[in-house]
Amino acid sequence: MQSGISVSQDLHDAFQAFTSDDSAFALPITIDSESLQPRPPIPFAESSFYSSLPQLQSILEPRTPLFLVLRHHSPAVSGLLALTYIPSNAGVRAKTLFASTRATLTRELGSEKFATTIFATEEEEVYGEDAWKERDLEGNGTSTASFKREDLMDEKERELEAVRRAEEEARHGTAGRDVGTGGSLGRVSGIATGGGMRVNMPVDEDAKTALRNIQEEGLVQLSIDVKSESIKLNATESNVSPSAVASHISDSSPRYTFYRYPGSTIVIFIYTCPSGSSIKEKMLYASTRRVAIQIGEAEGIQIDNKIEGSSPDEITAARLQEEVTPRQDEGPKRGFARPKRPGR
């Protein structure tokens, strides 16, 4: 999938200047006016890659994707790196736009000029020294590394890595494991999943009934019983204003929330997963998120609007309204169509 976004002449000029200046550490790039545009370059701090990384923290914004061209020299990689940063809580359109423009950026600037490309969803993956050292040790997938990232992890870190992968797979889909929307479907408690993985997750009848009867300004919330690994009705509310939705969402455990926006027939699917949730909760909710969507669709709900957050505070009235009536500078609202998981 391509976005139709192209590299501007300003970016061509800025990139040429960047490649010829060894004192330049990073070139931030964003999408503006339907084209890729440069931001001011960032110089090296003490001519060191690792000592320069903290500078990147100041240019990252919550929920705002960004491209970065970085100059890095290590035993594993030497040259320019193209990093795509797409926060996990960014808007759906922004995620889709940046992910589908990623290949365009390197192709139009010259793929041969980049040693590797990297995809990041968390700020620490962009400016964190440990993250970069792990990449160097891993060789960014090259044969120069003698061991892999997982070799450096203890048991808990491996579990967290499994959660991260489950979230990425649920977000983008993979060839062998895709529990979700689209494609050919297999049966899961009357609900379908795609790909090669079957998710046997029983669904309570009262949850189905609540979804089937959701009214305007109505809220239906589902949760997973971790012990029985079944989907249950957590709450059903009526007359909930957009500004009050967050107050009905747990700040300690993940939830699937269906909210019918006032004055419309639109139902927004909200997935929240607080950072304090248990490892097993994160795993179950991440890999079953698309199944929850299919539960709603099986009860007659058309879900074209989906958002996610790590905290109820992120589910604001403004964000909900943006899903229903996007800002004029974002163009027409598109249906949900996340790209397949980008490679590293």
In the chain, the number of structural domains is: 2
Residue 121 and residue 164: Cα distance in Å, rounded?
10
237/145 same-domain check: no
Please report whether residue 106 resides in a domain.
Answer: yes
Please report whether residue 326 resides in a domain.
Answer: yes
- pLDDT tens-place string over residues 191-217: 433 333 344 578 999 999 999 999 999
Contact between 167 and 161 under an 8 Å Cβ cutoff? The reply is no
42/125 same-domain check: yes
Contact between 291 and 180 under an 8 Å Cβ cutoff? The reply is yes
126/200 same-domain check: no
Please report whether residue 57 resides in a domain.
Answer: yes
Range of the domain at 310: 186-330
Please report whether residue 76 resides in a domain.
Answer: yes
143/190 same-domain check: no
Last residue of a domain, one of 152, 167, 195: 152
Which residues make beta-bridge pairs with 259?
219, 268
Phi-psi region of 183 (alpha: psi -120 to 50; beta: other; left: phi over 0): left
The identity of residue 53, as a single letter, is L
Contact between 33 and 63 under an 8 Å Cβ cutoff? The reply is no
Last residue of a domain, one of 152, 178, 208: 152
145/10 same-domain check: yes
Q: Binning pLDDT at 50, 70 and 90, where does residue 260 land?
A: very high
Please report whether residue 337 resides in a domain.
Answer: no
Q: Binning pLDDT at 50, 70 and 90, where does residue 298 land?
A: very high
42/119 same-domain check: yes
Q: Which tokens sit at 84? A: 């795509």
191/284 same-domain check: yes
Please report whether residue 117 resides in a domain.
Answer: yes
229/133 same-domain check: no
> Side by side, which strands form the sheet with 305-309?
230-237, 219-225, 255-260, 267-272, 305-309
**What is residue 196's predicted lDDT score, i.e. its pLDDT?**
34
**What is residue 212's predicted lDDT score, i.e. its pLDDT?**
94
Last residue of a domain, one of 152, 178, 212: 152
Tell me the average pLDDT across 19-31: 94
Coil, strand or helix at 57: helix
148/191 same-domain check: no
99/199 same-domain check: no
**What is residue 157's predicted lDDT score, i.e. its pLDDT?**
54
Q: Which residues of 155-191 are buried (b: 16+ CB within 10 A; e: fewer)?
A: eeeeeeebbbbbbbbbbbbeeebbbbbeeeeeebeeb
266/148 same-domain check: no
31/121 same-domain check: yes
Q: Which of these, 158, 155, 157, 139, lies nearest to 147 by C-alpha position?
A: 139
Residue 158 and residue 171: Cα distance in Å, rounded?
20
Please report whether residue 158 resides in a domain.
Answer: no
- pLDDT tens-place string over residues 304-342: 788 988 889 889 999 899 888 865 444 444 444 333 344
Tell me the average pLDDT across 52-70: 93
Q: pLDDT: is 43 or 228 the higher one?
A: 43
The domain that contains 233 carries what CATH number?
3.40.20.10
- pLDDT tens-place string over residues 127-176: 998 888 877 776 544 433 334 445 445 555 555 565 656 555 555 543 33
Q: Which tokens sit at 141? A: 């997938």
Looking at the chain, list the stretches that DSSP marks H as alpha helix, in order from N- to C-terminal side.
Answer: 9-19, 49-52, 92-109, 124-127, 129-138, 155-172, 205-212, 279-298, 317-324
Please report whether residue 167 resides in a domain.
Answer: no
**What is residue 181's predicted lDDT score, i.e. its pLDDT?**
28
